[in-house]
Amino acid sequence: MVSVVLVGTLSVVTYALVRTWIVNDRRQSTERQAYSDARLVQNRLRSEDPGLVPLLSSLKFVESGDTLMRQGSLWYSSSVGVGSTDVPVSLQAVVGAKHAGWQMVSTSDGPVLAVGVPIADSSAQFYVLESMNDIEATLRRLAAALALAAGIAAVVGAGTGALVSRRILQPLRDVSVVAEAISAGEEDTRLTESTDPDLGSLVSSFNSMVDELHERARREARFAADVSHDLRGPLAAFSSAVSVVQRRRASLPAEAGSAIDVLQEQVEHFNELVVNLLEISRFDAGTATLNIEVVDTVEFVRAVLDSCGVPAPLVCPAEFISRVAIDKRRLHQVLANLLENARLYAGGVSSVIVAPVGDRTVSIVVEDSGPGVPPELRISIFTRYDRGRADRDPAMPKGTGLGLALAAQHVALHGGSIRVEDSPSGGARFVIELPEVPS
């Protein structure tokens, strides 16, 4: 756009200046010739037989020009087809007042330059009518040449600008690509070192920043893992102590029994939180691994339902056989979390569905009868410490905010995906998709 504006402006200004110069040059040349011819006519008028018509014919200084003279009410012309009507009335008024003048006139044959000169010592007036068609033709060719040059210059300028800007912005594109790769989990991705002195410092600073951030994240992950691990010992002892007290509950006062119940509930919540934090720290440290076993998908889901005591029906196609390679502990934790969430926040599980999805993919669907998950929360609930509607409703049970985040990471570690959508029967529908093992 800058190239088009600059080249277009330059072309317009050039055309205007050249037109002005050419027209002024022709006008000045015509005026000089008109003054010279007017003196010849003035000298001939002093003779007894002026012979004005032959004289005017001899004064045609260009093939496209015509001369006229007015003496009183009589008009004399060098051409039969040219007369008083071809001279503008406004120019006649100026010359009649003893002033020389000129005027551009548009005619059916093209533009004409009319120049009028009063003849001294007489009432005569001398006029020159000169066609400007040759100049107009020249200007048209000039305009066409400028337009062509402007078009070529604009294309070349735009192409050069695109190439230069692409080269200038390429480092930023490289930074964007590397940043996206790092955010996608490719932690070893770095910018390629550049020999350009202006980019070298940027590349070095960016790579150093990424190294420092990853080192800091690893330190924090190790710290969280160490703290969680150190807490498990005291927490196990605390749980054992509470269990001992619970077994002797009959010998305790009623008030103490209520306090022990609250204490046990908090210990269980604390234990769940520590276990989840320890699991997350493994993901952050990159030490999470899979203990892979090939299992029958339907039988595995049925076993999880039985172990969790969920009476929901298991729905699958008739004679459906599907096998997946999974870490049974991790996927059991994922399904148990979905079943527990349905019990706490959605009135229980309405159905569990196992079905094929496309080629070599199986889905495990957990549906509930609750109010569902609003669209604006369907991504954020899989982030850490997001408790969804529980954060907004004090009456709802409070979880750790880590269950669904861990579920998403467990599923991703298996090469699968998890999402939430509306159930056809109302409520929420959590969908887990896993790659199948070829039979």
Question: Residue 414 and residue 141: Cα distance in Å, rounded?
Answer: 73
Is 310's pLDDT higher than 70? yes
Q: Note the pLDDT of residue 265.
A: 72
Q: Are residues 105 and 36 in the same domain?
A: yes
- Both 215 and 308 in one domain: the answer is no
Q: What average pLDDT does range 65-82 have in this prediction?
A: 82
CA pair distance 134, 113, nearest whole angstrom: 12
Look at residues 4, 2, 15, 1 and name the one whose alpha carbon lies nearest to residue 153.
4
Is position 16 within any domain? yes
Domain-embedded: residue 424: yes
Looking at this protein, which amino acid is placed at residue 20?
T
156: pLDDT strictly greater than 90: no
367 close to 353: Cβ distance less than 8 angstroms: yes
Backbone dihedral region for residue 203 (phi beyond 0: left; psi -120 to 50: alpha; all else: beta): alpha
Residues 36 and 105 in one domain: yes
303 and 421 share a domain?
yes
Q: Is 269 helix (H, G, I), strand (E, B) or coil?
A: helix
Same domain, yes or no: 334 and 245: no
**Secondary structure letter of residue 436 according to DSSP:** B
Higher pLDDT, 342 or 246: 342
CATH number of the domain where residue 428 is located: 3.30.565.10
What's residue 304's pLDDT? 92
Is residue 322 in some structural domain?
yes
How many angstroms separate the CA atoms of 404 and 386, rounded?
9
Three-class DSSP labels, 378-411: CCHHHCCCCCHHHHCCCCCCCCCCCHHHHHHHHH
Using the 3D structure, point to which of 140, 172, 205 is the last residue of a domain.
140
pLDDT tens per residue, range 352-393: 999 998 888 999 999 998 888 888 888 888 887 766 665 565
β-pairing verdict for 323-327 and 101-107: unpaired
Statement to judge: residues 362 and 385 lie in one domain: yes
The pLDDT value given to residue 402: 78
CATH number at residue 107: 3.30.450.20
247 within domain boundaries: yes
What are 383's strand-pairing partners? none
The candidate with the shortest Cα–Cα distance to 37, out of 69, 63, 11, is 69
Q: Tell me the residue type at 288.
A: A
Q: Residue 202 above 70 pLDDT?
A: yes
The SS3 of residue 311 is: coil
Q: In 3D, which of 195, 223, 219, 193 has the Cα closest to residue 208?
A: 193
Grade residue 434 by pLDDT with cuts at 50, 70 and 90.
Answer: very high
Closest C-alpha among 173, 143, 144 to residue 16:
143
Domain interval for residue 213: 197-285
Chain-wide mean pLDDT for the chain?
Answer: 82
Closest residue by Cα to residue 131 from 108, 110, 115:
110
CATH number where 230 lies: 1.10.287.130
Residue 302 has what pLDDT?
92
In a domain, 151, yes or no: no
Q: pLDDT band at residue 3, thresholds of 50, 70 and 90?
A: confident
How many helices (H) and strands (E) are present in the chain, helices listed first?
9, 12
Binned at pLDDT 50, 70 and 90, residue 211 comes out as confident
Domain boundary among 125, 140, 155: 140
Q: Which of 13-22, 60-69, 118-127 has the highest mean pLDDT?
A: 13-22
Question: Are 272 and 317 contained in the same domain?
Answer: no
φ, ψ of residue 420 in degrees (nearest 5): -125, 140
Q: What is the pLDDT of residue 242?
A: 75
Domain stop point among 96, 118, 140:
140
| Residue of 214, 219, 167 whose CA lies nearest to 189 | 214
Cα–Cα distance between 296 and 276 in angstroms, integer?
A: 27
Phi, psi (degrees; rounded to nearest 5) at 119: -95, 120
Rounded Cα distance between 191 and 171, Å, is 9
The beta strand positions in 224-311, using DSSP E, are: 292-296
Considering the domain architecture, whether residues 273 and 395 belong to the same structural domain is answered as no
Edge-first strand order for the sheet with 101-107 is: 74-77, 65-71, 124-131, 110-118, 101-107
Please tell me whether residue 151 adopts helix, strand or coil conformation.
Answer: helix
Q: CA-CA distance, 72 to 351, in Å (whole number)?
A: 116
Between the two ends of the chain, the Cα-to-Cα distance in Å is 61
376 and 278 within one domain: no
pLDDT tens digits for 131-147?
888 888 999 999 999 99
- Do 230 and 314 belong together in one domain? no
Better-scored residue on pLDDT, 195 or 436:
436
Q: Is residue 155 part of a domain?
A: no
Same domain, 219 and 334: no
What value does the mean pLDDT take over residues 191-213? 79
Q: 181 pLDDT exceeds 70?
A: yes
What number of CA atoms fall less than 13 Å from residue 121's CA on the CB side? 8
* Residue 149 belongs to a domain: no
Please state, in angstroms and rounded to a whole number, the distance separating the CA atoms of residues 340 and 348.
8
259 and 308 belong to one structural domain:
no
Average pLDDT over every residue of 71-97: 84
The dihedrals phi and psi of 271, each to the nearest 5 degrees, come to -65, -40
pLDDT for the residue numbered 34: 84
What does the CA dihedral 319, 325, 329, 335 come to, rounded to 10 degrees?
A: -50
Of residues 243 and 385, the one with the higher pLDDT is: 243
- For the chain, the domain total comes to 3
* Rounded Cα gap, residues 99 and 31, in angstroms: 13
Region of residue 141 (left: phi > 0; alpha: psi -120 to 50; beta: else): alpha
Confidence bin at 78 (pLDDT 50/70/90): confident
Q: Which of 15-24, 264-273, 356-365 has the least mean pLDDT?
A: 264-273
Strands 417-422 and 349-356, sheet pairing: unpaired
